[in-house]
Amino acid sequence: MCTKIETQPKENKMKMKKLVYVWNDLYNSAPKLYIPYTKFDIGFSIISCAVVCILRLIFEYFYIHILNFNPDTYKTIESAAACASITHAILLCTGLWAALTSQPYVPSEKIDKAPKEYQNAVTALLQLCTGYMFYDAIFMFRSNNWSLHPDDTAFLAHHFVTTFYMTQTRILGAGHISAMGLMFTGEATNPAQNGHLITKFGIQLTTNEHSLFHALHPYTELIFGILYFIFRAFVGPTQIVHITYDLLFTKKGRDNVSLKVSLIWVAMIWGIILGSYPWTMEALEMVSDGLNVKYDQRWDYGPRYEL
């Protein structure tokens, strides 16, 4: 006599962090707006862009009307932009950390293997970052009388590459972990970098020679220098070597992402990390200077920052 053995499908035992569920709920609460004739949702990106735009305007009001900084200098506008950027980075990085530590780190992994809540959370985080990129591009033009300033070209190129990468991972349903990992290490230094920007402009904008900007500036410059150098000289390259290996030299990587797409991704991420070399060396200079700041109160930032 043969006994029929019923096999039950294996449950997905992925242990998700609480923040993953928060981002899932946020995504489910947002209206779904699809690109015409597709099922590609951009609703969360649009909402994210709008929210960061509002934050930026609030920070501009704070600097101009509360701190009484000069509204006609680009230093004031950049300081407000830095506050908006820090807010975005903190929200994004906490979410990314929860998502990245909820699933094994396989850069080329397919997302359909994860629970729906995780998929929604990842989509929300990728769209949040995409929305920020659009906000930043819009305000770059706004801050330059709706024209492109030459100094912004590199930033716009970075935003295009980042958005292209994130969008492709969503379309392919694979590689989201590589995108989130790169986003995390890229944004991890953001609070320190923009904190340094705030204090270096603050010591020139304030009329109080004993302000908090003056007290904090030597430390923000040193902390930024240390973190930026570590992440760009060691963490970033190591991470990109691993992503390159996974995409190009593992069977799973080649199965999940086509060779053509992988080569494009690898070229883009190596281009970004190598392109940061001048800033990495500058960060090393800041570290070697200790608390003797490079960007002091007399520093000339060029014509764009003059009245």
Could you tell me if residue 8 is inside a domain? Answer: no
Could you tell me if residue 191 is inside a domain? Answer: yes
Average pLDDT, the chain: 94
pLDDT at 13: 64
Q: Distance (Å, rounded) from C-alpha 74 to C-alpha 164?
A: 29
Could you tell me if residue 13 is inside a domain? Answer: no
pLDDT digits (tens, 9 = 90+) for 86-101: 999 999 999 999 999 9
Q: Which residues, at least 6 apart from 100, have a Cβ–Cβ distance to it below 8 Å?
A: 177, 180, 181, 184
Query: Is 70 exceeded by the pLDDT of residue 5?
Result: no
- What does pTM read for this prediction? 0.93
Could you tell me if residue 6 is inside a domain? Answer: no
Query: Is 90 exceeded by the pLDDT of residue 62?
Result: yes
Of 51, 49, 50, 60, the residue nearest 82 (C-alpha): 60
Could you tell me if residue 293 is inside a domain? Answer: yes
Domain of residue 51 covers 18-305
Query: Is 70 exceeded by the pLDDT of residue 9?
Result: no
pLDDT digits (tens, 9 = 90+) for 212-229: 999 999 999 999 999 999
For residues 135 and 49, is the Cβ–Cβ distance under 8 A?
Answer: yes
pLDDT at 8: 42
**What integer is the mean pLDDT of 251-263?**
97
pLDDT at 12: 52
pLDDT at 10: 46
Could you tell me if residue 11 is inside a domain? Answer: no
Could you tell me if residue 1 is inside a domain? Answer: no
Q: How many domains does the chain have?
A: 1
Of 198, 137, 179, 188, the residue nearest 269 (C-alpha): 179
The two tokens of residue 7 are: 């096999």
